[in-house]
Amino acid sequence: MKRQQYFGQIALVLAAALFALPFIPLILASFSFRWHWPDVLPSMWMWEARGTTPFPVGWDYLFSPVSGLGPAFANTVGIGVATAFLATLIALPAARVLARYNFPGKEAVEFFLLVPVIVPQIAVGIGMLMLFIRLGITRSYVGIVLAHLVPTVPYAVRILTSSFQNLDIAYEEQARTLGADRISVLRYVVLPLIMPGLLTALFFGFLISSNVFLLTFLISGGRIETLPTLLFQFIESGAPLDSTTAGLVLIVSIPGLVFLLLSDLLARDGRSIGRTPVASVTVPQRPGGPE
């Protein structure tokens, strides 16, 4: 048993190193000015180069208006917040029904509300583009947020259904018998009890939305950039260990990093947000999840 544990620990340390280490050269690259073949470390850093070129370098470039990072960041956050709230709002009543009622065809409804996660996004995306052209909402924020609902609503339904399942209906009934009206029951009983699930659904919706590439790429027609579409362009045109791509990669990773830290912090608090919900759902995006 002891020996087994030992091997397990070594495997975990190795895996953690393999997944974390690749970020280190990117951090170095983001501060580099010159990092030519075959140097293993940058030969010139951005602060050494600052006076020598008329153009902003590295982080200076990223934070200058030319890079397009500012609007992409704002778009990502704005679209993410809108998507998260809408998806949660849409999923909430459905989750309550799925957790509370039994009815004929329930399994079919559950399946229908999950299947967008598995159906190829390219198929949904191209069809959606046709639809949105007819509706005149391509290249608009409305179009992009609507597109992002497809990968986010299924997760929100799943997360919220499980949190309604954990909420004993007896609490509500008790509050009602004690004379609370519907609004008060919702406000003082239901809402506080499903808050962790609600927060998880919101965070998760934001995270998925901020990771979606293909749907944004198709619907925005290049007019509205988000962090993933900007990163796509940088990778397409940049060299390996290029400083601006490296910097952008680190910025694009921020929402995920914050999500992970928050969920760990709350898990330590003993609240239910975090581990299980994150575990029971994907990105995908894909996955999509997860993207």
Return the residues of window 150-209 that contact other proteins according to CB under 8 A.
150, 153-154, 157, 207
Q: Please, what is the minimum distance in Å from the beta carbon of residue 250 to other proteins?
A: 9
**Which of residues 184 and 280 has its CB atom nearest to other proteins in the complex?**
280
Which pair of tokens denotes residue 50? 């600052």
Write out the H or E segment, with its range, that includes residue 86.
helix 69-100
Q: Give the count of alpha carbons within 13 A of 249, CB side only.
A: 20
43 near other proteins (CB under 8 A) = no
**Which of residues 127 and 192 has its CB atom nearest to other proteins in the complex?**
127
Q: Please, what is the minimum distance in Å from the beta carbon of residue 75 to other proteins?
A: 15
Q: Please, what is the minimum distance in Å from the beta carbon of residue 171 to other proteins?
A: 18
32 near other proteins (CB under 8 A) = no
**Which of residues 75 and 211 has its CB atom nearest to other proteins in the complex?**
211
Write out the H or E segment, with its range, that includes residue 139.
none
- Omega before residue 54 within 30° of 0, cis: no
Q: Please, what is the minimum distance in Å from the beta carbon of residue 54 to other proteins?
A: 26
Applying CB under 8 A, among 144, 194, 214, 273 the residue interacting with other proteins is: 214
Question: DSSP E strands: which ranges in 35-147?
Answer: 44-45
Cβ-based neighbours of 125, under 8 Å, separated by 6 or more: 147, 214, 215, 218, 219
Applying CB under 8 A, among 58, 202, 213, 273 the residue interacting with other proteins is: 213
Q: Are 151 and 285 in contact (CB under 8 A)?
A: yes
What would the x/- binding string for other proteins be over residues 95 to 124, using CB under 8 A? -xxx--x-x-----x--xx--xxxxxxxxx
Q: Are 227 and 76 in contact (CB under 8 A)?
A: yes
